[in-house]
Amino acid sequence: MIIELGHFALILALPLALIQATVPLWGAERRHAGMMALGDLTALAQFALIALAFATLVNAYITSDFSVLNVAENSSSAKPLIYKISGVWGNHEGSMMLWVLILTLFGAAVAWFGDNLPAPLKARVLAVQAMIGAGFFLFILFTSDPFQRLADPPLEGNGLNPVLQDPGLAFHPPMLYLGYVGFAVAFAFAVAALIEGKVDAAWARWVRPWTLAAWCALTIGIAMGSWWAYYTLGWGGWWFWDPVENASFMPWLVGTALLHSAIVVEKRDALKGWTVLLAILTFSLSLIGTFLVRSGVLTSVHAFALDPRRGLFILVLLAVAIGGSLLLYAVRAPALAGGGLFAPISREGALVLNNVLLTTGAATVFIGTLYPLFLDAVGGPKLSVGYPFFDRTFVPIMVPLLLAVAVGPFLGWKRGDLRGALERLWIAFGLALALGAIALYLSQGGPILAVGGLMLAAWVGFGAITEWVGRTRLSWRRALHLPRAAHGMTLAHLGLAVTVAGIAASAWQVERIAVMHPGDNIAIGGYTLHLDRLSGLDTPSYHAERADIRVTAGDRAITVMHPEKRHYPLEQMTRGETAIRTTFLADLYLALGDDDGKGGATIRAYWKPLVPWIWIGAVFMALGGVLSLSDRRFRVGVARRAAPASAVTEAGE
């Protein structure tokens, strides 16, 4: 009965969304206060309904109600509670429910906290939001209904894919969706601005926090996915240029561009049309990402043929959302002529360069990801586009970006002094060179590109520090007077440097793969690994084989590590549980392979220098975003009051 209540709530949300998509829009046109205000009410009601629907689904999972098809297919009664809950979004139908839950939550947030928005803008934003919502409600109701009952319920469910039974992966999809859906708000603002024909500094000031928040969540979401791959897959790969990863990376790249171009709109009233276009593109890529991952089209275009209804619906929805907004853009954008003028060498110019490189990078990922599908669809040869392609195309585009990241913040608005900027960066340049020389000497004919990557990272990092020191002159008083957004930028750029260093250094990893018997030892990365024991371990969910590996360095005992290989009988799957010891400068990474039938087993050991920096850097970036988000001028209600003063206080930034 309860699950039907959820189904009913979802059905009820649809007409509400349709009302919200039309009435406030019309009201904004006629300047009718009542019609515009209706949007607030429906947004809050929609959120309440979807929250109820989602809660009934979660309840069905927690109580293991196998009369619900979705629960029977994706859960089992023996799972720990956290994986019963995360199982809700571990499948297509449930993940769509999570998507609309976040969408309506953000819609309600705009309605609730958006008092300082001009009423027509708010009404139009909510209307656009409701259009997206309506599309998704229809999609769920007609093709991906998680509320279906089974005529004869099974006694036990099929279980959750063991790969998904992991804390890292349990929260990976919600973070990604927070990002995707946050960009939906930026999109709604962009489309509303196109309808109004007005984009100004105030508009950018409302869009920036949403974009920043979405970007932070997406950054963390992507990092979590990558970290999960690292510790799960048994050999420590952290990025595969897999279509599923690319689907989240593209909105991140364009979202990063949007974040930067919105600054120009806010501060200098320029790049308006371009910023609106970026907002549209970011969300379009988020939509494509959501659907590509869940529809199976990435495995093969022919997967569409299995369930043409769902595929067709997705295509129509994408066509309407993306095509419609781009059409609107083509018609209305010419009216958005920008005000602020600037010379090519200026802060604005640097941000344009940032945008050119980031969007080209995103386009490269887009081409590489979809080219096999495209060729297949036009009857061409079957191709794989794997990491070698992206290494050769995407990475070269990022090199100039990294070179420019350090310089950009030193350039003044309107007209910058490139020579002056470079002169202030000579210490960073010297440090990067010195580090490169040391790395070159230490790696002794090792991978030369990694040395280059490390130098780039040092350039970006020391550049960010130089800029921060120049602003604060290491005085607390000065540092406290700086806007938080300035510290946020330093932290985010520093994070980028840390991540790049981690990526570059991964070329120096050491690998040892050997069959070991108890009593054997191998040496790696300055450690000696002693295999003491191989044993079995039983838990309700799985049976594990487990190795006790003692790690020593010289005579010093360091630790004991336990890589496992787990077999899940219900799901009929085997997966490894790696053991990792990190010093934050390097990871010792162990995975247990097959036994050799003679009392020994394959041990894979890796020593991976700086690898944790990849994710530490991502956390820095996200924290930088949060710090910017806490900036005084983004706080609720501040936007209007702060406007006159900001012209003076921010001129020096």
Partner 1 sequence: MRFFLLLLAILLATLTPPARAVEPNEMLKNPALEARARAISRELRCLVCQNESIDDSNADLAHDLRLLLRQRLAAGDTDRQAIDFIVARYGDFVLLQPPVEPATYLLWFGPAALLIVAAASAAIFVNRRNRTLREPAPLSAEEKRRLDTLLDERY
Q: Kindly state whether residue 77 participates in binding partner 1, applying the rule CB under 8 A.
A: no
Q: Kindly state whether residue 636 participates in binding partner 1, applying the rule CB under 8 A.
A: no
* Binding span for partner 1 by CB under 8 A among 178-186, 305-313, 431-439, 630-638: 305-313
* Binding span for partner 1 by CB under 8 A among 106-114, 251-259, 545-553, 591-599: 591-599
Considering only 244, 328, 510, 638, the residue that binds partner 1 (CB under 8 A) is 244
Considering only 168, 574, 626, 653, the residue that binds partner 1 (CB under 8 A) is 574
- CB-facing half-sphere around the CA of 622: CA atoms within 13 A: 20
State which of positions 91-150 bind partner 1 (CB under 8 A): 91-92
Name the H helices within 473-483.
476-481
Q: Kindly state whether residue 360 participates in binding partner 1, applying the rule CB under 8 A.
A: yes
d(Cα 600, Cα 620) in Å, to the nearest integer? Answer: 42
Q: How far is the CB of 340 from partner 1 (least distance, A)?
A: 9
Q: Kindly state whether residue 380 participates in binding partner 1, applying the rule CB under 8 A.
A: yes
Give whole-number Cα distances, 430 to 7, 459, 490, in Å: 64, 9, 20
Q: Kindly state whether residue 444 participates in binding partner 1, applying the rule CB under 8 A.
A: no
d(Cα 355, Cα 351) in Å, to the nearest integer? Answer: 6
Taking the chain, what is the end-to-end CA distance rounded to the nearest angstrom? 59
Q: Kindly state whether residue 367 participates in binding partner 1, applying the rule CB under 8 A.
A: yes
Q: Kindly state whether residue 539 participates in binding partner 1, applying the rule CB under 8 A.
A: no
Sequence-distant (≥ 6) Cβ neighbours of residue 415 within 8 angstroms: 342, 343, 345, 346
Which long-range contacts (C-beta less than 8 Å, at least 24 apart) are formed by 154-158? Answer: 154/66, 154/72, 155/66, 156/66, 156/76, 156/77, 156/570, 157/64, 157/66, 157/71, 157/72, 157/73, 157/74, 157/75, 157/76, 157/77, 158/72, 158/73, 158/74, 158/75, 158/76, 158/570, 158/571
Rg (CA), the chain: 26
Going by C-alpha positions, the residue among 106, 65, 104, 107 that lies closest to residue 88 is 65
Q: Could you count the other beta carbons within 10 Å of the beta carbon of residue 541?
A: 20
Nearer to partner 1, 357 or 454 (CB): 357
Nearer to partner 1, 171 or 387 (CB): 387
Q: Kindly state whether residue 449 participates in binding partner 1, applying the rule CB under 8 A.
A: no
Q: Kindly state whether residue 569 participates in binding partner 1, applying the rule CB under 8 A.
A: no
Considering only 33, 513, 523, 585, the residue that binds partner 1 (CB under 8 A) is 513
State which of positions 323-342 bind partner 1 (CB under 8 A): 338, 341-342
Nearer to partner 1, 306 or 427 (CB): 306
The Cα diameter of the chain in Å comes to: 83
Q: Kindly state whether residue 515 participates in binding partner 1, applying the rule CB under 8 A.
A: yes
How does strand 601-609 pair with strand 510-516? antiparallel
Q: How far is the CB of 440 from partner 1 (least distance, A)?
A: 22
Q: Kindly state whether residue 608 participates in binding partner 1, applying the rule CB under 8 A.
A: no
Considering only 29, 196, 242, 269, the residue that binds partner 1 (CB under 8 A) is 242
Sequence-distant (≥ 6) Cβ neighbours of residue 524 within 8 angstroms: 510, 512, 588, 605, 606, 607
Q: Kindly state whether residue 403 participates in binding partner 1, applying the rule CB under 8 A.
A: no
Q: Kindly state whether residue 67 participates in binding partner 1, applying the rule CB under 8 A.
A: no
Give whole-number Cα distances, 444 to 458, 479, 519, 590, in Å: 20, 42, 34, 26
Q: Kindly state whether residue 642 participates in binding partner 1, applying the rule CB under 8 A.
A: no
Considering only 51, 387, 452, 558, the residue that binds partner 1 (CB under 8 A) is 387
Q: Kindly state whether residue 7 participates in binding partner 1, applying the rule CB under 8 A.
A: no
Q: Kindly state whether residue 163 participates in binding partner 1, applying the rule CB under 8 A.
A: yes
Nearer to partner 1, 324 or 388 (CB): 388
Nearer to partner 1, 157 or 234 (CB): 234
Q: What is the DSSP string of 247-288?
A: HHHHHHHHHHHHHHHHHHHHHHS--HHHHHHHHHHHHHHHHH
Nearer to partner 1, 52 or 515 (CB): 515
Nearer to partner 1, 51 or 395 (CB): 395
Nearer to partner 1, 326 or 515 (CB): 515
Q: How far is the CB of 251 from partner 1 (least distance, A)?
A: 18
